[in-house]
Structure 1
Amino acid sequence: MSLAKRIKYPSVIERYYTKYYRTNVHSETNNDTLVLVHSNRVCVLMLSERHPILTNPLKIHSIESLASVNQSMSGKSKRGADYVQPNKLLYRIKCDNEQIFTICASIKGRLVELNDEIIKTPDLLQQKPQGEGYLAIFIPSLKDAENNLKLLVTEQDYISSKQSS
């Protein structure tokens, strides 16, 4: 077996993004989100790997979008995009066991995209949670990018807090 086949290369997420977490979103226990932060400040919102939808075999009944994206964006910095606060409601996910999870923006910034595909195909959240099952894409301002990190928990702190609880 060649050396190239034995080496495990880091994924795109591991190479280009830094993981941060927002715990107990909307004051719901274990309703944690993952925010991937790229070096160019673009942030991708996803469900945390330890979210009950991903760890328990919960069947998603429906996903309701609670926000909309302004379609008149233009330019590199997406002028015209809606500026959202961390507690802006984005989605309500209803599971077959009557459990409901409310997903908030988790960070302050321009809401560039909401993933419409997860509304059409809710199983994407479970099948491809760190790919096509993303929730939203944001671009925070320079000032907000620093302030957002104060609201979030690093990957190491998140893992240690989940192990101790």
Structure 2
Amino acid sequence: MEEALGSLRAEGAKPEVAMATEPVAVESAAPSLVDRYFTRWYKADVKGKPCEDHCILQHSNRCVRGRLMEVNENILHKPSILQEKPSTEGYIAVVLPKFEESKSITEGLLTQKQYEEVVVKRSNATTATS
């Protein structure tokens, strides 16, 4: 699998399945709001469920346990925006964090690079068992 991805990258071709961490092409050259103000963290296999991955966006003020400020009710009417626009309108909620807990929260999370390595290993394992 890695050889196939390597040859695709060398030829400039895109793999058939895009990783969740790959940026989506946008018309403007300016970075998105999320890219400017948030750090992406990942939790793979949440609660031991394979492929149940979560992306946590941490604002520079730190995203931790805190007060629920807003719930995105748009996802009730159009749940597909969770997948179609995960970095913008597809958010679930806004939480006002407690600053003192931020470090303990991120200690168990993966960086984008670490998460991509998990996805590649998972893909290789799936290919090997097929």
Shared fold, TM over 0.5: yes
1:27-76 deviation line (CA, Å, top 9, x unaligned): 321111111111122x4xxxxxxxxxxxxxxxxxxxxxxxxxxxxxxxxx
- Give 1:111 shift: 2.3
Aligned to 1:112: 69
Change (3 A) 1:139 1:20: same
Cα distance in 1 for partners of 2:31, 2:89 equals 19
Matched, 1:10 2:26: no
Matched, 1:150 2:97: no
Tell me if structure 2 keeps the 8 A contact 1:111–1:139.
yes
Matched, 1:141 2:98: yes
Aligned to 1:72: none
Tell me if structure 1 keeps the 8 A contact 2:34–2:88.
no
Aligned to 2:79: 122
Change (3 A) 1:27 1:112: farther
- Give 1:143 shift: 1.6
Tell me if structure 2 keeps the 8 A contact 1:109–1:144.
no
- Larger RCO, structures 1/2 (Cα 8 Å, 6+ apart): 2
Aligned to 1:35, the other structure's residue is in SS state strand
Tell me if structure 2 keeps the 8 A contact 1:18–1:38.
yes
Normalising by structure 2, report the TM-score.
0.63
Aligned to 2:120, the other structure's residue is in SS state helix
Unaligned runs of 5+ in 1: 1-6, 44-106
Number of equivalences: 95
Q: Please state which structure has a larger fraction of its residues in strand.
A: 1
Aligned to 2:39, the other structure's residue is in SS state strand
Change (3 A) 1:37 1:9: same
Cα distance in 2 for partners of 1:153, 1:10 equals 22
Tell me if structure 1 keeps the 8 A contact 2:69–2:95.
yes
- Give 1:147 shift: 0.8
Unaligned runs of 5+ in 2: 1-27, 123-130
User: Alignment partner for residue 33 of structure 1, among 42, 51, 54?
Assistant: 54
Q: Please state which structure has a larger fraction of its residues in helix.
A: 2
Q: How much identity, in percent, do the aligned residues show? A: 35
